[in-house]
Amino acid sequence: MSSRNFTALKTIWIKECTRFLRIWVQTLVPPAITMSLYFVIFGSLIGERIGQMGGFTYMEFIVPGLIMMSIITNSYSNVSSSFFSAKFQRNVEELLVAPVPTWVVIFGFVGGGVARAMLIGIIVTCVSMFFVDVQIHNFIVIVVTLILTSTLFAMAGLVNGIYAKTFDDISVIPTFVLTPLTYLGGVFYSLTLLPDFWQMVSQINPIVYMVNGFRYGFLGVSDINYLVALGLLVGFNLLLYITAYRLLKKGVGIRS
């Protein structure tokens, strides 16, 4: 990488991190609060009555899923709203006039989303430690899943931001697609609890693989094969990268 590109990449990344830190009340506090509520309500209050799930206490079972859930929503919304507002305020033009290659733009924005997701992941993990002894089965699996999931959703957020024409357009996908898929993605239950038919349907939900892959890293148990999860993550990442690259290169939504 040329030093010019490296400087540009670093600059976009710093700018992105500065943005979410500047508005930390909107970006960092809400996930911490939501997750604490989940821990209190589902983990402590209801969880005690549920008993064991997949061989662990309910609290232990849902912690990886909840961390994953916050990583998904935060990496997505960071990039979609940041890129959309850069279009809206037109400061995306600062990048367009400069000799910044498309891949640097993508990595810069995605890097910002990943940074926020990691920070939230750490915050949520810390919160969960008040409720449960967090155990780690395979640290590498955790880190790899974490990075691939957050880049995937950051990239998806970028594509959303590129297409978005109004502020509504960046909340449609999270509300109508991401949230349902996450809730149905096995965060709160083991797929084995479902009737056969619904177990099969769940297999086409990509989030199932991420949540289970992540849970495997913590607990060593999973409803699915970790390698399948890994393959899917890599595949989706590539697909979204190519999509974002083409859209930006063509100037969709940014160049008339």
Count residues near another protein (CB under 8 A): 28
Stretch that binds another protein, among 6-14, 53-61, 206-214, 238-246 (CB under 8 A): 6-14
Stretch that binds another protein, among 54-62, 70-78, 84-92, 167-175 (CB under 8 A): 84-92
Per-residue contact string for residues 141-160; x = within reach of another protein by CB under 8 A: --------------------
**Residue with tokens 């998806």, as numbered in its chain:** 156
Our finding on whether 166 is near another protein (CB under 8 A) is no
Give dist(CA 145, CA 78) in Å, integer.
19
Report whether 157 contacts 79 (CB < 8 A). Answer: yes
What's at 218, amino acid-wise? F
Q: What is the DSSP letter of 46?
A: I
* Between 11 and 34, CB nearer to another protein: 11
Per-residue contact string for residues 85-124; x = within reach of another protein by CB under 8 A: -x--xxx-xxxxxxxx------------------------
Give dist(CA 73, CA 62) in Å, integer.
17
Q: To the nearest whole angstrom, how small is the minimum distance from the Cβ of residue 226 to another protein?
A: 39
Give dist(CA 240, CA 233) in Å, integer.
11
Quick one: which of 10, 165, 246, 249 contacts another protein (CB under 8 A)?
10
- The answer for residues whose C-beta is within 8 angstroms of residue 93's C-beta and 6 or more apart is none
For 127, the token pair is: 């919160």
Per-residue contact string for residues 16-45; x = within reach of another protein by CB under 8 A: --x---x-----------------------
Q: How many residues does the chain have?
A: 256
- Nearest to 85, CA basis, from 177, 166, 2, 174: 166
Our finding on whether 255 is near another protein (CB under 8 A) is yes
Our finding on whether 1 is near another protein (CB under 8 A) is no
- For the chain, count helices (H), then strands (E): 13, 2
Residue ranges that bind another protein, judged by CB under 8 A: 2-5, 7-8, 10-12, 14-15, 18, 22, 86, 89-91, 93-100, 251, 255-256
